[in-house]
Amino acid sequence: MARPIIIDTDPGQDDAVAILLALASPELDVLGITTVAGNVPQPLVTTNALRLCELVGRTDVPVFIGAHQPLVRELFTAEYVHGPTGIDGADLPDPVTTAQPKHAVDFIIDTCLAAGTDGVTLCPVGPLTNIASAIAREPMIIPKIREIALMGGGFFAGGNTTPVAEFNIYVDPDAASLVFNSGVPITMFSLDVTHKALVLPEDLDRIRAIDTPVGEAVAGMLGYYERHDVEKYGIAGAPLHDPCVIAYLIDPDLFTGKACRVDVETESELTVGQTIVDWWGVTGAEPNTMVMSEIDRSGFIDLVVERIAEL
């Protein structure tokens, strides 16, 4: 039976690939897509989610508008990485479909409460505002959440937005702190593993060779997106951060990690948004997160290319 998931997202080119990978995978039942301001503001993130569903003919997947800003802070966005639309590099038409009238947080709560014994897996690949809001408003969903598989944070790799803070956590550290302390099983894909999920030039050639509208859109997005990381880090291609979450749900053997205690700094101006990962167990605190650290890069890329080719 396909695993029921909700994708919580702020598309974003790498978010876009994560959405497409999920929609191409029979192992997953995408119950809905909830949007959160992050890489670009609302309503652009919602428009992008609708565009992507229409690109692959999956208008049956409902899209729900979520948070316009973090819980208590001003919104910080990343057009400097993703371009003014968030998915620059793909010339997708404006959507003809519209988002659902129900708020994203209400959808998350209602879906979790109605879930069967297998529960629902939440897949946040943007700031954690919607997830935190749902848990805070209705704690009864906690036992119905099978797992939160999220992209965010960093430990040995540091940060990509400040010296110590990764973007998704930095945008709403208060939400992240609530989620990590919720008691829900969490699997975390930080920069330490996602920076190893590189799309190299030869991989981009494979995607272009698919020669379909979806392959063309993905190749265009990644061709635009890689310029920032190649210049900033001196690496050979673009890290596919967010698709790691979806690839893990399809094939967990692609990743290895370690159970650790993870906390989020919310007070210090210098380190706000830092994920403090007790990798060596020095605090003696009970682990609350499976922190992934290694990836089978070739297996991961093969999975992404094969599934994109099927759309």
241 is annotated as an active-site residue? yes
Set 68, 82, 195, 241: catalytic member: 241
* Peptide bond preceding 43 in cis form (omega within 30 of 0): yes
Distance of CA 72 to the CA centre of its chain: 21
User: What is the Cα–Cα distance from 157 to 278, expressed in whole angstroms?
Assistant: 14
User: What is the Cα–Cα distance from 257 to 33, expressed in whole angstroms?
Assistant: 27
User: Within 13 Å of residue 200, how many CA atoms lie on the same side as its CB?
Assistant: 7
User: What is the Cα–Cα distance from 118 to 112, expressed in whole angstroms?
Assistant: 10
Pairing mode, if any, of strands 238-239 and 198-199? Answer: antiparallel
b/e burial code for range 36-51 (CB count within 10 A of at least 16 → b)? bbbbbebebbbbbbbb
CA distance readout (Å), 126 to 42, 115, 148, 201, 206:
13, 23, 13, 26, 27
Measure CA of the first residue to CA of the last residue in the chain; give whole Å: 21
193 in helix, strand or coil? helix
Q: Which among 155, 156, 146, 159 is positioned nearest to 186, based on CA atoms?
A: 146
Q: What are phi and psi of 277, to 5 degrees?
A: -105, 115
**Which one-letter DSSP state was computed for residue 252?**
G
Active site residues per annotation: 241
